[in-house]
Amino acid sequence: MFGRRVLLLHHEGRTTGLDRTVALEVVAYDREGGSWTLASGFGPKADWYLNLRMMPTTVVQSGGRHFAVTAHFLTAEEGGEAMVRYAAARPRTARRLCSFMGFGIDGSPGSYRRAGREIPFVRLDAGPGQRLP
């Protein structure tokens, strides 16, 4: 239904140990490199983000298939560049995300870069031998 724009992230609760699932928008998709990039719109305190910090290997569901992935947390600079690319591809959604998070955006790449340095980004890399949809 959502194609490559949304994936289901399965993660383990860091305090309960229970299986959790959350639907997240994909900021960037790299079929050749075998990865999805996500932004934590609720900041670094979002449960799914904190859970991945504790246990970075997990499973995602995309395109009706499951993939084993490992989370890699982007640096502030990488996050800034990811936000610039996202804003160019999805300007309205990027403006809404930044507004929701309280960032003043003037629409310039520099303003998105500054916001992206503050937003936690995670790249989920698929394990070897997995072909992405």
pLDDT at residue 3, as a whole number = 56
Which class for 49: exposed (0-12), middle (13-18), buried (19 or more C-beta within 10 A)? buried
Question: What is residue 1's predicted lDDT score, i.e. its pLDDT?
Answer: 44
pTM comes to 0.90
pLDDT in tens, the chain (133 residues): 455 789 999 999 999 999 999 999 999 999 888 899 999 988 899 999 999 999 999 999 988 889 999 999 999 999 999 999 999 999 998 998 888 888 989 999 999 999 999 999 999 999 887 777 6
All domains of the chain, ordered by start, with CATH? 6-126 (2.30.110.10)
